Structure 1
Amino acid sequence: MRGRGSRTVASRGRIGVLAAVVITILVILVALPLGGLVAATVGERGAGAWGDVFVGRIASNLFWQPLGNSLLVGLGTGVLSTIIGAFLAWVVVMSDVPGRKVIGALAAVPFALPSFAIALAWETVFRNDRIGGSPGLLQSFGIAVPDVLAWGAVPITLTLVAHYFSLSFLVVAAALANVGGDLLAAAELTGASRLRIALRVTLPAVAPALLSGFLLAFAEGVSNFAVPALLGLPVRFQTLSTRLYGSISTGDVERGYVLSILLVVVAAAVLYLGTRATGRGSFATLTGKATRARSVRTGVWRIPLLVVASALVLVTAIIPGIVLAVSTVLRRTGRVDGGFTLHFWTGESDPGIAQGVRGILTDPTVINALGGTLALGASVAAGAIVLGVLGAYVLRRLPRARATSGTISFLSYVPFLIPGVAFGAAFIAQFGTPIGPLPSLYGTFWILILAGIAASVPFAFQTSRAALGQVSSELEEAATVAGARGPRRLARILLPLSARGVVGGGVLVFVTMVRDLSLVVLLVTPATPLLSTMTFRYASEGFTQHANAITLIIAAISVAATLLARRLQGARSSGSTT
């Protein structure tokens, strides 16, 4: 008994040390950058920046107008994404419309794509001659495209909706799947009509999911950088994310940091209010008796519903890819009458085409960017998952240590509230200058890895916690009785049994980094090229075919990795240990 007690005390001591290590790492990656961002805005120069942003002569152009534009785009993105996502979720989960599985699979594809992929496809089709350069496909066919469809709030909102409706779809579909058929059957026995059942039973049951989907899409719309930069900046339509990027990239760092803090506050306030709203009341739909979701007979509306649902997923998941692929082989941007060529893929430098810029597959800079992107994705995924597993293991072993578990949970959740471009600004503020004997990390690959790990911590921690949670504690207790220490139990029991879930989470972190632009746009330098920033540079400079070709490569990597992650998670679900 004495030996067993001493082993227990020693085990708790090792877990305490591990908890301290995890908290220290989270403080360095999360708390210090945010602290550095705030510290950079205090003092004489910082105080002046706050005044300039709120009440200065340029306050309207610097903050208030971009804030209004951000809220407008976010509201439109949230409302439309929720409507479309909820409609498709209902079709897939609760209707008898044919082809539901295919529709459901395609509805999840847009979120696996980089947001700028759909923006580039939109520009390829709808671009007009307002800002010069080559117009899009519609105008090349003689169809006049109004400015309101080519640039500004409308195309930005619609492209963001085409990307983020997948969020609402996944959230609402999961909620609808939990609306048991017994609830609907009981409502039908009362003689209630289908409309009344939908309004009084189904809608209240999925109300939290609808609100969550709206808030997630709204927050993403407010903070997105890539789409407003591509479709807004050419006509000076500024949002908070593009304005702070412009400030920091032009050396006006104090004002940029202030805007970063305000963007964090806006996103955090939205998500906080949503959490409070969804936390009120009871929306229980799960009973002790397991029942499957009840299909609704749509009758004569089956085919119209099928047509609408199919059109939505085709326009968002299939057509953008086709548009991008076709545009990369057009000799003249936006015109099919100029002939076709593979130059933008495999061509050598030719002064007569694209100002001598060679094809992406023969350009050493692009090849280096591909290698850097894959290396960054793999490094961030490995680092984030290791940190996530260690944090989840600490919480598993010390569930009653409220201070420790609360600190880890809080620090691992905070990055979810920080938009990517603001996080990049925070890392510049903290690690952009030497700290004691440590050199500046700006311009190095390390700052990209650290920022990526910090931004990915929420997802890595949650997926690792879920994966470890599927392993019964009885197995670990049996190993403890047999004398296995904590590291051995983790390596021999927990990790092998939860490997699929952990690896699946790592793959999704990899996908996020490969397609991310907002986080890295301020951190990348010519010494550290990435595919996403090269796409942004090519698109900004008018090399449309090159930008679209690189986007296709990113999309192919992202979709392939996402399918792998879903397969791993599906296998985990079918073979989970309890």
Structure 2
Amino acid sequence: MAADPALSRNLRGGEHLLAVLVLIWVGGLSVWPLARLFVEAFAAGEDGRAFGLMAEVLSARATRRALVNTLMASAGSVAVSLVLGAALALATGLFALRGRVAMSFLILTPLLIPSQTLALAWIEMSGNSSPILRPLGLAPPPGTTNPLYSGWGIAFLMGIEHMPLVFIAMRAALTGLPADLVEAARVAGAGRARIVACILLPLALPAALAGAILALAAAVGNFGVPALLGIPGRFPMLTTLIYQRLNGFGPSVAGQVAVLAMILVALALAALALRALVLARLAVPTGSGAAMQPFDPGRARPWIEAAVWAVIAVIAVLPMLALLATALSPALGVELRPSTLTLRNFADAFANPTIVRAFANSLQLSVAAAVLCALVALPFAFLRVMAGNPLVRALDWLADGPWVVPGTVVALAMILTFLRPLPLIGSLYGTGAILLVAYLARFLPLILRPVLAAAAAIEPAQDEAARLFGAGPVRRMAAILAPAVLPALSAGAMLAVMTALNELTLSALLWSSGNETIGVMVFALQYEGNSTAAAAVSAVSVALVLGMALALDRLAPHLPRGTLPWRG
């Protein structure tokens, strides 16, 4: 049946209108602010010399020191991430261990828990008043500085935080290998050790390296760990230098910090380009077929499980217990016993109207950002997958920009873009609206990626039939696309809420009085020396995030494979 030409023009017109709206959204929130940052960074110096501002900032001693520290700490963190992530991926990917889903979930908690909370938990666990180490006689002597307040402490903690990126990449590569490779090796007489060393490891190595390079890009833009450890430890990095410059001098130094932000962008993009090169040059075709089944570890099972659980306890469980113990202690240095245990820190924290307002602000901002991004993801997926719109295909990778570049860069781009009054809306700087705009740009990819994956699985004939019968874009989205991608859309929205709820990197530069967020309050309380209150606020925020993650896990049977990383 031939389609009516007038009807086809009307349908295309509706799709074009949707494409223009998506262009305005992505262009206004993602492309324009980052482009504005580029313009500011390449401005002339005070003497009018071309690229003078960049030359001044790059030649400054503080810039060179922060750059060297950033590279050293990031490289050290990658080594930690690679060793830990690869070892845990091998153990849980190669062997049929009991409780593998629980293991995977706990291994990924450093990525689910915000960096400032992770840093605070490790500060409490490794200090001289540690509720974990002091009863064992392993805490540093009283009066000594916490050993984590150093460059190696930052590298170690960032390595733990970004270790899940290596774990996810290598675990996915191992579990996706075809079973016929292993079976062929067994038929040829190869033992298990030789199969692992000569077949499985070489095939999984490119994925592990790609995950490590992704961890490097994340470490370069990390703010929470360097802020809580590097500022008191006098170990400046690029992200903390940007924060301190803006915090001390305000928007008057926006041009200078824009140059610092461009260094972060260059480092992150170089890391991502290296990752793409590794995957292109080193990836080995493995063919198709049934996925490899984990080996039966036999009598070694208890020892492997004990080793995995021991590592999980150190990187995920004990720091959180130390954080909770600090929150339940009447004061720092007081040994936690049944007689000293108190909920006073929680009561005092939530009697503070600023902290209560911070929780309300974070919940409202994260939910609003998730809902609005979900509303944008639907027409985006429709135009990208079902309609095949070339404009939206071009916007696909641009939408990832605010997620790929460090959050500090995104925050600075928002300041430069929305500092001056705009027609009809005025200036957004110093308002809650600029936080929402930054969240919308930053967290759109978290919802968009699973929705695009789910949309790609829809049978194209369904949409073609609806189009031939005259259904417009909105009706096709509502009747065909929305029901098919609803689980992925819900999962992406919840992931966005979980990520945005305790976000600090954007909020540290964009918050204002009355618009505090949870991450800002944890950072401020710890910076002021009120560790017990910071621990109490952090404990509640962690409980919220983990509760959401467990609720999301209930949706696992209805989600596209790979949506929940702990489910493999």
Query: TM-score, with normalisation over the residues of structure 1?
Result: 0.89
SS of match in other structure, 2:232: helix
Instruction: Give a deviation string over 1:209-248, Cα, whole Å, max 9, x none.
Output: 2122101211111111011110111021011111111111
Q: How does 1:121-520 map to 2 (within 5 A)?
A: 121-127=121-127, 138=133, 143-144=139-140, 149-251=147-249, 252-280=253-281, 282-287=283-288, 289-290=289-290, 292-299=291-298, 301-336=300-335, 339-346=340-347, 359-399=348-388, 401-402=389-390, 404-520=391-507
Contact kept, 8 Å, 2:206 with 2:283, in 1: the verdict is no
Q: Which residue of 2 aligns with 1:556?
A: 543
Q: Residues of 1 paired with 2:533 and 2:13: CA distance?
A: 56
Tell me how far 1:195 sits from its aligned partner: 3.6
Q: Residues of 1 paired with 2:550 and 2:214: CA distance?
A: 23
Q: Which residue of 2 aligns with 1:352?
A: none
Give the superposed CA RMSD.
Answer: 2.4
Q: Residues of 1 paired with 2:105 and 2:239: CA distance?
A: 31
Quick one: which amino acid aligns to residue 228 of structure 2? L
SS of match in other structure, 1:234: coil
Quick one: which amino acid aligns to residue 295 of structure 2? V
SS of match in other structure, 1:284: coil
Q: Which residue of 1 aligns with 2:7?
A: 7
Contact kept, 8 Å, 2:77 with 2:158, in 1: the verdict is yes
Tell me how far 1:528 sits from its aligned partner: 0.4
Q: Which residue of 2 aligns with 1:25?
A: 25
Inter-CA distance 334–166: structure 2 relative to 1 (3 Å threshold) = farther
Contact kept, 8 Å, 2:131 with 2:325, in 1: the verdict is no
Instruction: Give a deviation string over 1:38-97, Cα, whole Å, max 9, x none.
Output: 232313349554233222xxx23x222211221222222222212222222222222144
Inter-CA distance 278–337: structure 2 relative to 1 (3 Å threshold) = closer
Q: Residues of 2 paired with 1:119 and 1:195: CA distance?
A: 38
Inter-CA distance 196–142: structure 2 relative to 1 (3 Å threshold) = closer
Quick one: which amino acid aligns to residue 322 of structure 2? V
Stretches of structure 1 that go unaligned for 5 or more consecutive residues are 129-133, 347-358
Inter-CA distance 69–519: structure 2 relative to 1 (3 Å threshold) = same
Q: Which residue of 1 aligns with 2:515?
A: 528
Quick one: which amino acid aligns to residue 272 of structure 2? L
Tell me how far 1:158 sits from its aligned partner: 2.3
Q: Residues of 2 paired with 1:282 and 1:256: CA distance?
A: 38
SS of match in other structure, 1:439: coil
Contact kept, 8 Å, 1:463 with 1:505, in 2: the verdict is yes
Q: Residues of 2 paired with 1:484 and 1:79: CA distance?
A: 55
SS of match in other structure, 2:218: helix
Inter-CA distance 7–569: structure 2 relative to 1 (3 Å threshold) = farther
Inter-CA distance 49–30: structure 2 relative to 1 (3 Å threshold) = same
Q: Which residue of 2 aligns with 1:44?
A: 45
Contact kept, 8 Å, 1:91 with 1:100, in 2: the verdict is no
Range 526-535 or range 97-106, more displaced: 97-106
Q: Which residue of 2 aligns with 1:131?
A: none
Q: How many residues align?
A: 550
Q: Which residue of 2 aligns with 1:541?
A: 528
Inter-CA distance 567–137: structure 2 relative to 1 (3 Å threshold) = closer
Instruction: Give a deviation string over 1:127-174, Cα, whole Å, max 9, x none.
Output: 35xxxxx88875796843575823112222222222222222222222
Between the two proteins, what is the percent identity of the paired residues?
27
Quick one: which amino acid aligns to residue 466 of structure 1? A
Tell me how far 1:297 sits from its aligned partner: 4.3
Contact kept, 8 Å, 1:89 with 1:170, in 2: the verdict is yes
- The answer to whether residue 52 in structure 2 is matched with residue 53 in structure 1 is no
Tell me how far 1:524 sits from its aligned partner: 0.4
Instruction: Give a deviation string over 1:355-386, Cα, whole Å, max 9, x none.
Output: xxxx1121111111111110000011112222
Q: Residues of 2 paired with 1:486 and 1:499: CA distance?
A: 17
Quick one: which amino acid aligns to residue 32 of structure 2? L
Tell me how far 1:282 sits from its aligned partner: 4.8
Inter-CA distance 335–286: structure 2 relative to 1 (3 Å threshold) = farther
Quick one: which amino acid aligns to residue 294 of structure 1? Q
SS of match in other structure, 1:335: coil
Quick one: which amino acid aligns to residue 35 of structure 2? G
Inter-CA distance 28–337: structure 2 relative to 1 (3 Å threshold) = closer
Quick one: which amino acid aligns to residue 373 of structure 1? S
Quick one: which amino acid aligns to residue 303 of structure 2? P
Q: Which residue of 1 aligns with 2:70?
A: 70
Q: Residues of 1 paired with 2:261 and 2:161: CA distance?
A: 24
Q: Residues of 1 paired with 2:279 and 2:101: CA distance?
A: 29
SS of match in other structure, 1:336: coil
Contact kept, 8 Å, 1:126 with 1:136, in 2: the verdict is no
Contact kept, 8 Å, 2:331 with 2:532, in 1: the verdict is no
Stretches of structure 2 that go unaligned for 5 or more consecutive residues are 564-568
Q: Which residue of 2 aligns with 1:95?
A: 95
Tell me how far 1:286 sits from its aligned partner: 4.0
Contact kept, 8 Å, 2:454 with 2:488, in 1: the verdict is yes
Q: Residues of 2 paired with 1:3 and 1:407: CA distance?
A: 28
Tell me how far 1:320 sits from its aligned partner: 2.0
Q: Residues of 2 paired with 1:34 and 1:209: CA distance?
A: 30
Q: Residues of 2 paired with 1:207 and 1:164: CA distance?
A: 18
Query: TM-score, with normalisation over the residues of structure 2?
Result: 0.91
Q: Which residue of 2 aligns with 1:112?
A: 112
Range 500-509 or range 167-176, more displaced: 167-176
Quick one: which amino acid aligns to residue 259 of structure 1? L
Instruction: Give a deviation string over 1:250-288, Cα, whole Å, max 9, x none.
Output: 12332211111111111111111111221225522241x
